[in-house]
Amino acid sequence: MSKFSGMGLNTEQPFRVEILHPATNQPMRSVVDGKEYTAFVDVYSTDSNKAAAIQQANTDRRLRMKSNQRFTAADLEAERTDFLTSLTVAWCIIDPVSGNVVADAYNEQDGRELYSHPGFRWLRNQVEAAAGEAANFIKPRPTQS
């Protein structure tokens, strides 16, 4: 076993991002039929194996492009959306205006739709920032007795 095993970041476990309201910067909460919901997104690290595989596939695809093909800003934006969609594994989305729970079960189709919607860049930015923040994936130290 390597002397470095157990010391790295816990990039293979998703981090729960508590979504903050874009106007108040407070956690978004809603109560439906007596049950309290908090807006969140569970996302893997941009340093995870999953993220590395996606980035390698994107690079391979670009390298296979013919010389007369161009990689556009729209292509880059689509890659960015697909990347975050693939790193997301669960969520609870609350409408910032009505306070209603919009989605509490994640699927990639909804993820792609939300992350590509210009009106939800504020949410996407929070998730991207959290996925790229190493501190969110630090392994807790075992307690000594």
Tell me what pLDDT residue 28 has: 97
Per-residue CA distances from 138 to 10, 46, 49 (Å): 6, 13, 16
CA 26 to CA 18: how far, in whole Å? 10
Read off the tokens for 8: 């790295």
Which helix H or strand E contains 84, and what residues bound it? helix 73-87
Per-residue CA distances from 77 to 28, 72, 82, 118 (Å): 27, 9, 9, 12
Tell me what pLDDT residue 68 has: 79
Read off the tokens for 48: 């995870």
Tell me what pLDDT residue 129 has: 98
What is the per-residue pLDDT across 6-59, written as a single tens digit (0 to 9) for each? Answer: 778 899 999 999 999 999 999 999 998 999 999 999 999 999 999 999 999 999
pTM, full prediction: 0.88
Give the residue extent of every domain in the chain.
15-134
